[in-house]
Structure 1
Amino acid sequence: MFISASTLTESPPPPLEQCKIGMVPPFPSGFVLQNKWRPAFCRLANFTLHEQMYTCLYDKMIYLMGDSTVRQWYLYLIKSFKGLKHFDLHRTGLESMALSVDLQRNIRLQWNKHSHPFVASRFYSVKDDFYVSEQIDKLDGGPHYVIVICLGQHFRPFPIHLFIKRVINVRKALKRLFLRSPDAKVIIKAENTREISIDAERFTDFHGYIQYLIVKDIFRDLHVGVIDAWDMTTAYNTNSVHPPENVVQNQIYMFLTYIC
């Protein structure tokens, strides 16, 4: 019996669903093609017009909580969205809080550093110093609230049980938030990979990878969006705790896709 191979056709895979909160990224969670991050489990929104990105932020209260890698987000957003005006809080020393507003579109963007441990070479005001779980508990919540959390880099030199306890406390605070405000949006940003030329024994990615796995496990069953910055910075081979702007831009695009 003769079978013609030309008659056998393979149907194309179904199109990926747009990324949304609640999806659990696989491993690896994506790849870089033509300098763009391509998630393996969902698709990013197509932001062809700058105004479409503004629409995502319209009438939002955005709270960035964590280290300087989410402060990079803050700086990128106020640079890219001209309506956001930085408000000078007159903090001395290392900046521990930053605030911007867009009155026309009713957008509030705020960054707060997390509390101890925080490794820094300059002093900073402890008046803004609150644990992330405390910052979450202070928020009313509601459909206009967007919370981004990133912990990791400053915990690397310390015993792992300290990090585990801190992340568990954040998880408990998020569960309390969802009880009073189930429609609040929460995004967990994984930590970035970093250079190994500075105090490698304490700050190496060996410690960071263990923390990355802990974060994925502890937040796995919560209704949150995950931005796998670990896989992204690995794929881009950035080797810097503060990756270049194009990497931050791709993280922001995934963030906007989640909240659109």
Structure 2
Amino acid sequence: GRADRADAEIYNCSKTEREKCKIGMQSPVPSGYALQNAWHPVFCSVSDFNTVDKIQLCLKRKIIYLMGDSTLRKWIYYFTKRVPTLKLFDLHGTGKFKRHMAIDPERDTLIQWKKHGNPFVTMEWYLIKDDDYIAREIDKVPGDKDTAIVITLGQHFRPFPIEVFIKRLLNIRLAIKRLLLRSPDTKVIIKAENTREMYVDAERFSDFHGYIQYVAMKNIFESLHIGFIDAQDMTIACDTNIGHPPDHVLWNQIIMFLTYIC
């Protein structure tokens, strides 16, 4: 039928026939497919970052704020592993949920990760002195063309009523609108939550709750001028049912992020 032909046209479209992924593009469902450990968005084309030099050039003079849960904290570890000139800076915090910062002084690159506010479900110790909600963190960012913010949340909200998650998203949406009003060149990217293990308290943490939150997130941020990284579709396509996906999945997420900001 007509729908089948349209789907075939999308999936047969080569990289060169699609426009580069840009802030403001709408992400369809499904948003892409995985082939040989590489993610291929169906609505745009990702750039090539297969060398350290290309990554460094993209990150040069960039200030990047990673705001959310540990699936984004893994990004900062991966960046420092992939780019030797990016070094973690000790901010004298406590535990693995402290604020993380990586810097490349020669290229004026700064990447920071900070956990989102409560609810934050963990068996690990962490300090709350430096805690704040994502909306308030966004309000502290001056923003410019070389500033990027990546936001993800959801895993820690799964055991709680959906109203808690929706209210948090609405507050973040308002903060993003304020940021883009004072600094429209700032790049904001939302990373959806990924799938996770089924054996970890499935009644409270299962992907059933995650999918409902994913739909709510897409609807709430749909009309904003932002980028979207569909980690839900990525982890389903890559068949990685694990809370912290393997490196090749992280790299595909980061490739899409780098394409958005460069």
Whether TM exceeds 0.5 here: the answer is yes
Residues 112 and 128, structure 1, Cα contact 8 Å, conserved in 2: no
Which whole-Å deviations, capped at 9, do the CAs of 1:196-242 have from their partners, x for residues lacking one? Answer: 10100000000000000011000001010000000000000100010
Provide the rounded CA distance (Å) in 2 between the counterparts of 1:49 and 1:151.
30
- TM-score normalised over the length of structure 1: 0.93
What code does the residue aligned with 2:207 have?
A: D
**Which residue matches 2:135?**
133
Identity of aligned residues (%): 56
Alignment of 1:243-254 (within 5 A): 243-254=245-256
Which whole-Å deviations, capped at 9, do the CAs of 1:25-67 have from their partners, x for residues lacking one? Answer: 1110000112210101111102243211111111000000000
What code does the residue aligned with 2:24 have?
A: G
Gaps in structure 1 of 5+ consecutive residues: 1-9
What code does the residue aligned with 1:28 have?
A: P
SS of 1:201's partner is: helix
- TM-score normalised over the length of structure 2: 0.93
Alignment of 1:21-170 (within 5 A): 21-170=23-172
What code does the residue aligned with 1:88 have?
A: D
171, 181, 184: which one aligns with 2:183:
181
SS of 1:104's partner is: helix
Gaps in structure 2 of 5+ consecutive residues: 1-8
What code does the residue aligned with 2:39 have?
A: W
What code does the residue aligned with 1:255 have?
A: F
Superposition misfits of 4+ residues, deviation over 4 angstroms? none
Cα–Cα, structure 1 residues 84 and 48, in superposed 2: closer, same or farther, change >3 Å? closer
Which whole-Å deviations, capped at 9, do the CAs of 1:169-198 have from their partners, x for residues lacking one? Answer: 000000000110000000000001000101
CA drift at 1:13: 5.5
**Which residue matches 1:200?**
202
Greater Cα shift, 80-89 or 207-216: 80-89
228, 241, 244: which one aligns with 1:226:
228
Provide the rounded CA distance (Å) in 1 between the counterparts of 2:48 and 2:109.
22
Provide the rounded CA distance (Å) in 1 between the counterparts of 2:89 and 2:107.
16
What code does the residue aligned with 2:71 have?
A: T
Alignment of 1:7-22 (within 5 A): 15-22=17-24
What code does the residue aligned with 1:105 have?
A: R
What code does the residue aligned with 1:57 have?
A: L
State how many pairs are aligned: 250
Residues 191 and 230, structure 2, Cα contact 8 Å, conserved in 1: yes
Which whole-Å deviations, capped at 9, do the CAs of 1:72-96 have from their partners, x for residues lacking one? Answer: 1111001111111111122123423
What code does the residue aligned with 1:189 have?
A: K
Provide the rounded CA distance (Å) in 2 between the counterparts of 1:114 and 1:72.
15
SS of 1:237's partner is: coil
SS of 1:45's partner is: coil
Residues 52 and 82, structure 2, Cα contact 8 Å, conserved in 1: no
Provide the rounded CA distance (Å) in 1 between the counterparts of 2:219 and 2:250.
24
